[in-house]
Amino acid sequence: MARTSEIIKILEDFAPPELAESWDNSGWQVFFGNDNTTKVLLCLSVTDDVINQAFELGCNLIVSHHPLIFKPLKVVKDVKIIKAVQRGIQIYSLHTNCDKTNNGTSDLLAERLNLRKTAVLNDFVRVGLAPHDMTLDELIAHVKLAFNVERIKLVNNAKKSIIKTIAVCAGSGAEFIPEVEKYNIDAYITSEIKYHDALDSRRAAILDIGHFESEKPFVEEIKKLLENRKERIDVVIAKEKTAWEYV
C-alpha cells in the first residue's frame, strides 16, 4: 500500500503539470480523493481492456500517457469512465508534460536508438548523431531492432543514403518536418506521417515507426521511476498492442 498523493508527487516532480500544452488534459481523469493505492497499472492508452486488467490485477490506480478525457463532458456515457468509477479505479495521465520534460518521451526514443550528443530542437523534438555514420539500410535495421517492429514507413524524397544526424519525436510529429528539414538533418524518426506530409518532404529521410511503438518506452521509464524509491510501490505494466495489424 502506498500513498496516492506521494505517487502523484513523484510523477509531477518528473513531469511538472505546467509543462503541458494549453489544449491538453494531463492530470487527473478519474479522481475520488482515495489516498491509498494498492497497485499501479501503467499504460499508454486507457482502453476497456486496460480497465479490465487493472481490476483483475487488483490495481486501483492507472497511470497513462494519453488522457482518457480530452474535451469537457456534458454527460458521462463513456463505458471506460463508468467502469473505472464502478470499480473504484482512479486514473492519472502524463501527456504533453511528459513529452516536454527532461528524459521525456522523445529523450527516451533517442536513448533507445543510442543517439550521441543529443540536444533539444524544440519542446517535442530531439536531435543527435547516429551511433556511427550508417547507410539508410543500416539505420532501418537499427530502428526495427530497437523497437521490435517488422515494418516501418519510409519517405526518402531526398534520396538520402548516408545518415549522420537524426531527429526524433515520439508520437505524432509530422508538424515538425519543416523545422527538422530546415536544419539539414539526415533522418527524422517519428509517427503519424500523412500522405501530403510525405509528398511535401524534401530534405530528410523520414521513418514512421508507429505511434504506439514510438511511445512504448514511456511505461518502462515510469515503472523505473516509481520503483526506484525506498517506500514500496507495487507497479505493473499493462499488456497493450497497436489498434491494428498488418495483413
pLDDT in tens, the chain (247 residues): 899 999 999 999 999 999 999 999 999 999 999 999 999 999 999 999 999 999 999 999 999 999 999 988 899 999 999 999 999 999 999 999 999 999 999 999 999 999 999 999 999 999 999 999 999 999 999 999 999 999 999 999 999 999 999 999 999 999 999 999 999 999 999 999 999 999 999 999 999 999 999 999 999 999 999 998 877 899 999 999 888 887 7
Q: Within 13 A of 241's CA, how many CA atoms are on the CB side?
A: 4
Domain ranges of the chain: 2-97+216-237, 102-208
Superfamily of 2-97+216-237 according to CATH: NIF3 (NGG1p interacting factor 3)-like (3.40.1390.30)
Query: pTM surpassing 0.75?
Result: yes
CATH number of 102-208: 3.40.1390.30
Contacts of 144 (CB under 8 A, 6+ apart): 150, 152
Which whole-number Å values give the CA distances from 142 to 79, 158, 218, in the listed order?
Answer: 40, 20, 20
